[in-house]
Homo-oligomer: A and B are copies of this chain.
Amino acid sequence: MVSRRITIVDVARHAGVSTTAVSKVLRNAYGASPEMQAKVRAAIQELGYRPSAAARGLRGQTYTIGVLLPDLRNPFFADILDGIAERLGGTDYQVLMASSGNDQQGEARLTEAMIDRSMDGVVLIAPVASPRRLQSVARTVPTVVVGRHGHSPDYDTVTDDDFSGAALVVDHLVGLGHRRIAHIEHLETDAVRLREMPNARRADGYRHAMRAHGLGDQIDIAATSYTREGGYAGARELLSREPRPTAIFAGADIVAMGVFDALAEAGLSAPADVSLAGYDDTTFASFGPISLTTVDQAGHQMGGQAARLLLERIGDRGRPTSQVRLSPALVTRGTTAAPGAGP
């Protein structure tokens, strides 16, 4: 026989107060004397009471924050999650995640699922949805969008200056003497995403920087996806070019990982045969045998800022939205060198 759930009524009775009083203590709400608080807390302890989120959600908050991430395998997102978790530690909020597989339908289903579950707020990491949909989500639930450019009166954003970040890489490679610098990007066809997605901004930054160096005719892009497979396919494509690029700028570290696969397969190595740079400065980039030159976009900070903004918006849904933009920094490691510097 399963024992009956302990409810707020039990706590109230045990403490000799009203259920309202218990509820107030639970929510740290105004209007409960210290003695009453003490009594209630004691009763909660003694009975081992746990509030039901479902019941709370029916009227008030669920104290749940949903985080939507595109891909569990991209270690960059773990950095963001850490930042969120750190900022939310100590609050009553719990973080629940879902992975969309970078798929527009899956993403939509999951945001709906989060809304259905009365989450108090959501953090959408690099979502692919249309602005219309994002607006609609944000009007339903407090929302912070991470990594996607484009403003809205309904949601806050945290982004990295991807355009400049890409330029940092190109500048670095050009400084080393490279001219045939190719880029692997995440294929984007939608006009809006072409403007708002970080991958598109990086590609733009790449093109712009190349032209600024008078290398407009050297622009060479393989458009695949921000996955290891995408990096592999993109690198195979680029390595078959005649003449072969002397440097590859992968739009993300996870993409660079795929490039390594292709290099290994072709019997090439970085930087001996090709210089290689990534983006994100994931823990993978610092991996000893790899030591990937990359761009640090401070995922941990991004997560922290996102959590902060979300809490503020949950606190006051009417406040004007803000856009936090962080500055990227180049992290020079071992995979980039002067061209032809091979053994």
A residues engaging B (CB < 8 A)?
2, 50-58, 62, 64, 66, 72-73, 75, 77-78, 81, 85, 94-99, 101, 109-110, 112-113, 115-118, 139, 228, 257, 260-265, 269, 283, 287-291
Q: Determine the residue in chain B with the shortest Cβ distance to A139.
A: B2
Q: Choose one: B62, B96, B290; the contact of A96 (CB below 8 Å).
A: B96
Contact assessment for B94 and A283 in the assembled complex, using a CB-CB cutoff below 8 Å: no
Task: Give the docked Cα–Cα distance between A291 and B2 (Å).
Answer: 52
- 29 chain-A/chain-B pairs, Cβ below 8 angstroms: A50-B112, A50-B115, A50-B116, A52-B57, A53-B116, A53-B118, A54-B56, A54-B57, A54-B62, A57-B57, A64-B117, A66-B96, A72-B72, A72-B77, A72-B78, A72-B81, A73-B75, A85-B101, A96-B97, A96-B113, A96-B117, A97-B98, A97-B99, A260-B289, A261-B287, A263-B289, A264-B289, A269-B289, A289-B290
CA distance A96 to B69 in the complex (A): 12
A56 contacts across to B, CB distance below 8 A: 54
If A85-B101, A96-B97 are given as contacts, then 14 extra A-B residue pairs at C-beta distance below 8 Å, sorted by A number, are A50-B112, A50-B115, A50-B116, A53-B54, A54-B55, A54-B62, A64-B113, A73-B75, A81-B99, A94-B98, A94-B109, A94-B117, A261-B288, A264-B289
Give the Cβ gap from A37 to chain B, nearest Cβ, in Å. 21
CA distance A96 to B52 in the complex (A): 17
For residue A321, give the distance in angstroms from its CB to the closest CB of chain B: 17
Question: In the bound complex, what is the Cα–Cα distance between A283 and B85 (angstroms)?
Answer: 26
Closest to A115 in B: B50
Which of B54, B115, B228, B288 touches A264 (beta carbons < 8 Å)?
A: B288
